[in-house]
Amino acid sequence: MTTRGRGADRDDGSVTLRDDLAAAGLRRRSPLVVVPTQDGVGLAWQGGSRGLAADPVSVVNELSDSEPRFTWWSADEAAPALVDDGLRLRACWDLGAVGRLLHGLRRADPGAVWAAAAGLPEPAPLGRGGSELFDLDAPEGSPVRPDGQLSREWQRGAWRADVEHARRWAELGLELQQRQEAALGTLPDPRPSPRLPPLALLTAHAESAAALLAVELERDGLPLDLDVAAALLESVVGPRPVDAADDDAQRRRRDAAVLRLLPGPAVDLRNPLQVRQALLRLGLDLPDTRSWRLEPHAGTVPAVAALLSWRKAERTATTYGWSWLDQHVGPDRRLRGRWQAADGASGRMTASAGLHNLPAELRPAVRAESGSVLVRADLGQVEPRVLAVVSGDAELARSAREADMYAPVAAQLGCDRATAKVAVLAAMYGQTSGTAGAALRDMDRAYPVAMAHLRAAEQVGQRGGELRTYGGRLLRFGAAGPGEPVGEHVVQPAGAGRFARNAVVQGAAAELFKAWAATVRDGLVALEGEVVLCLHDELLLQVPAGAAPDAVRLLHDALQGTASWWAAGSPVRFVAEVAVGESWAAAH
């Protein structure tokens, strides 16, 4: 099912177009490359291509009834021009997102994605240093140069010239999509179920859906109650300053509440070394001033309690203060930031404007709009469960059958639950000192297959090699090329071993999460709901109040359905904690 946007019911010849394309070979879930321009749209599918002087939104709206797999060079560029308000496309293919997944690219621009698929050297980014006056380019009118690389003029937007250029760009996109799909099919499938579609291909579908979801999240925003947000800010950092001088005065007053408790010379509270020296004068000899080191002393040392309160207020004032509200919350009371479907390190979805680090103190301000509720779902212990799947460790998988897998792990290790959790996390993050180091030795004994899997990844990172996540994302470890900055998908040697050790787990968990999120997004259409936030392993939905029970069932059913193909053949159980509330805080 696809919701309908504006223009779907106009008598503009769209029905004939849909019938024509069906007669020319366009089938359900087959790729349909769409290139929108100001004057029309270019289309290409396995049976042909068209350039249409028609509204791209109306064309996509009408063709969505046939449920093709809408394909574009980049959701960032195409989707905002194609997705009408209220229209939720079900299936898509993002050439840039799949290129990054398949080839471990640091960039997702057409030139880099095309070159990777064609087995050509990665071209220099457009406009980065040097003169292009004597560079080879394609013959006039051609999008491909004699050396096989894409024309720089076409990359800069020559395809926007008219609908004929858009059609040719769409044809090239179809050729790229076919190359990508064929390459994904050659990757080894870690699951023991040959009857299922290749896991890498399914991951590409999920990554593409996540790229589209990122566009929707950026456009739609997160509902925020400005009155509640203002009251919370005032309680933490003080009233809204009337001018810069008032802002400075408030800052000095916050500082003074701590400084009067610290003896000796003046201290810059934003300088950790000076703070440590001041605490030493109070008799606290600490290796650093991290909050977790300070917290045990807050009850006995007033200056420490004041310092921790100051840090909370300072962070809120500088990152989530009054200017943050003014800059990122629109007239419709929606908080918006820039979304990315996959960061370079782990493949997780990320966002700007503080959306991924919103302090717990401000979560009561994230409130459902009138007549709606928020439904929060958090994957429980997802990374250790993912480790059990990707490593194939049968003993760890048995522990992951339980709702709380740390309890059976504790029994296996012969320790309490807290120590068992430390041991599992230390294994994934490569921590070797203190309590974690001792726990790791027990992990080696109890779960040798999982530990060997992690160490093998660590060795690849230390060698500066390459590895693929469970779902097929290529990760490169080593230095960037001459004159190039460190790329998003290229990890420098320092810390590469520990990064690789974690990436095989965190990257796979991100792939599972995005596949789950895409399935939930699809099911929300019937409930007239929306995904409003993706936070690491957590989904936040807004749905009509009467649809809350159905949304809860959807979240659980979508997780089990996703796990059935993602972890096919594994006994690992995936669980989600789900809660409903009027605010994000109330849904915890």
Domain extents in the chain: 14-186, 226-327, 337-381+509-581, 383-507
Least confident range from 418-422, 524-528, 572-576: namely: 418-422
**DSSP β-bridge partners for residue 538:** 378, 535
| Nearest-angstrom CA–CA distance, 563 and 578 | 17
Q: Is the pLDDT of residue 494 over 60?
A: no
Question: Number of H helices and number of E strands within the chain?
Answer: 22, 16
Question: Which strands make up the sheet holding 41-45, listed edge to edge?
Answer: 48-52, 41-45, 31-36, 69-72, 92-94
Q: How confident is the model at residue 5 (pLDDT cuts 50, 70, 90)?
A: very low
Contact 207, 94 (CB under 8 A): yes
| Share of residues in the chain with pLDDT > 70 (%) | 91
Q: Is the pLDDT of residue 84 over 80?
A: no
Question: What pLDDT score does 141 carry?
Answer: 79
Q: How confident is the model at residue 7 (pLDDT cuts 50, 70, 90)?
A: very low
The C-alpha torsion from 203 through 34 and 342 to 467, rounded to 10°, is 50
Contact 82, 6 (CB under 8 A): no
Q: Where are the alpha helices (DSSP H) in 238-336?
A: 244-259, 272-281, 291-294, 302-319, 322-328
pLDDT digits (tens, 9 = 90+) for 153-187: 999 999 999 999 999 999 999 999 999 999 999 99
Average model confidence (pLDDT) across the chain:
89
Fold for 383-507, please state it. DNA polymerase; domain 1 (1.10.150)
Angle, helix 199-220 to helix 163-185, in steps of 10 degrees = 140
Contact 56, 35 (CB under 8 A): no
The CATH code that applies to domain 337-381+509-581 is 3.30.70.370
HEC readout, 189-240: CCCCCCCCCCHHHHHHHHHHHHHHHHHHHHHHCEECCHHHHHHHHHHHHCCC
When pLDDT is averaged across residues 191-195 and rounded to a whole number, the result is 81
The C-alpha torsion from 202 through 203 and 206 to 208, rounded to 10°, is -110
pLDDT digits (tens, 9 = 90+) for 552-577: 999 999 999 999 999 999 999 999 99
Question: What pLDDT score does 164 carry?
Answer: 95
Residue 75's closest CA among 169, 215, 250?
Answer: 215
Strand duo 339-340 + 350-351: pairing: antiparallel
Question: What pLDDT score does 361 carry?
Answer: 87
Q: What does the chain come to in residues?
A: 588
DSSP line for 122-155: PPPPTTSSS--TTS--PPTT-SB-TTSPBPHHHH
DSSP line for 520-562: HHHHHHHHT-EEEEEETTEEEEEEEGGGHHHHHHHHHHHHHHH
Contact 205, 31 (CB under 8 A): no
Q: How confident is the model at residue 316 (pLDDT cuts 50, 70, 90)?
A: confident
Question: What pLDDT score does 497 carry?
Answer: 87
SS3 335: strand
Amino acid at 399: S
Amino acid at 230: A
Question: What pLDDT score does 495 carry?
Answer: 77
| Nearest-angstrom CA–CA distance, 265 and 211 | 53
- What are the φ and ψ backbone dihedral angles of 231, each rounded to 5 degrees? -65, -40
Count CB atoms within 10 A of the CB of residue 557: 13
Residue 261's closest CA among 302, 225, 300?
Answer: 302
pTM to 2 decimal places:
0.90
Question: What pLDDT score does 587 carry?
Answer: 92
Q: Is the pLDDT of residue 481 over 50?
A: no
pLDDT digits (tens, 9 = 90+) for 25-77: 888 889 999 999 988 999 999 989 999 999 999 999 889 888 999 999 999 99
Cα angle for residues 357, 212, 362 (degrees, 5° grid): 20
